[in-house]
Structure 1
Amino acid sequence: MQNKLKWRGNKMTNGKITRSNPLDMPAPVGNYTHITKIPKGSDLFVTSGQIGLDLNGHIPSNFNEQVSNTFTNIKRVLGSEQLKSENIIKVNVWSTEKIDWNFFYSEWDKLFDTDYPAMTIGYIVELGLPEIKIEIEIWAAKM
């Protein structure tokens, strides 16, 4: 994984949600933050896992096409609740194939720039349907 994070030990804030990487532990190995703090009184949003399904109901066989479609679907589901990337507090990524990190991070950085949420990545044998290769679940908060 590429480590694009250049900050450690300080806190990045976007008004209400605080993100930090403690100095007394290793820096993140990817584009994520170790700790995300959500203020009291926030509304919590949890999405179902988003997959690479397009608007025609087609799931492409190409892994990176599924990644692109998945990020498009994430943006759509967030938009349905007037949520933006800065509202995202946690991302869970499940993949049945090795992730092309250069491609994945190009899509990731379009969504987050450098204000990264907490993230977990798991490689698994299969997802809900045999043609699904990646699924991404989003947790978000808004005051």
Structure 2
Amino acid sequence: MSKRWNPGTVAAPVGRYSHLAQIPAGHELVVVAGQIGARPDGTLAGPDAEAQTREVLANIERVLAAAGAGPEHLVKVFSMVAGAEHLPGFRAATGDVFSRWFPESDWPTQSLIVVSALAKPELFVEIEAMAAVPR
């Protein structure tokens, strides 16, 4: 299992993330492309950031499963939110899902940026991820 932690030499994280993740020998790095809030049939999960974020995270679970992994293998999450007005919905969804995925608060490293737009105007959230999967 990857080691995730926060060294005492820097300020504590301001959210649900760890400052460091270390991948041990015998693991394979799996890189997940930016996922959007589209259901498997291609329809958008909803017209708001919370619904889209929940579907984005479900998509991450699906693609990780296809690689023989799960959320517990995540070492890096990179989130893009199209406009600060969508942060409350994004945070509500990630808070719920991350609490389920990481019940011991062993968060992966994470970065969040607010952007002016994503690839289409109806998209509010896109998330990329990396996982370390035991061979």
TM value normalised by structure 1: 0.83
Q: 1:64 to 1:55 in 2, by over 3 A?
A: same
Q: Which amino acid aligns with 2:52?
A: Q
Larger strand share, 1 or 2: 2
Residue 25 (structure 1) shift: 1.3
Paired residues in the alignment total 128
For 2:29, what is the secondary structure of its paired residue?
strand
For 1:75-86, list aligned pairs within 5 A.
75-86=61-72
Shift, 1:56, TM fit: 2.6
Deviations 1:2-46 (A, max 9, x none): xxxxxxxxxxxxxx3111111121100001000100113421100
1:103 shift after superposition: 3.5
Report the CA distance between 1:84 and its aligned residue.
1.5
Q: Confirm whether residue 112 of structure 1 aligns to residue 112 of structure 2.
A: no
More helix by share: 2
| Residues in 2 aligned to 1:23 and 1:80: alpha-carbon distance in whole angstroms | 37
Percent same amino acid at aligned positions?
30
For residue 40 of structure 2, the aligned residue among 55, 58, 61 is 55
Is the 2:36–2:126 Cα contact (8 Å) retained in structure 1? yes
Whether contact under 8 Å (2:34, 2:129) holds in the other structure is yes
Paired amino acid for 1:96: A
CA RMSD of aligned residues (A): 1.3
- Tell me which amino acid in the other structure corresponds to 2:118: L
Higher relative contact order (CA 8 A, sep 6+): 2
Paired residues for 1:1-143 under 5 Å: 16-59=1-44, 60-98=46-84, 99-100=87-88, 101-113=91-103, 114-143=105-134
Q: Partner letter of residue 67 of structure 2?
A: E
1:97 Cα deviation after fit: 2.9
Q: Give the aligned residue type for 1:54.
A: R
> Which deviations, in whole Å up to 9, do the C-alpha atoms of 1:105-140 show, x marking residues without a partner?
112222222121000000001112221110011101
TM-score w.r.t. the length of structure 2 is 0.88
CA distance in 2, matches of 1:25, 1:63: 31
Which consecutive residues of structure 1, in runs of 5 or more, have no partner in the other structure? 1-15
Given residue 122 of structure 1, which amino acid in structure 2 is its aligned partner?
Answer: I
CA–CA separation in structure 2 for the residues paired with 1:67 and 1:41: 32
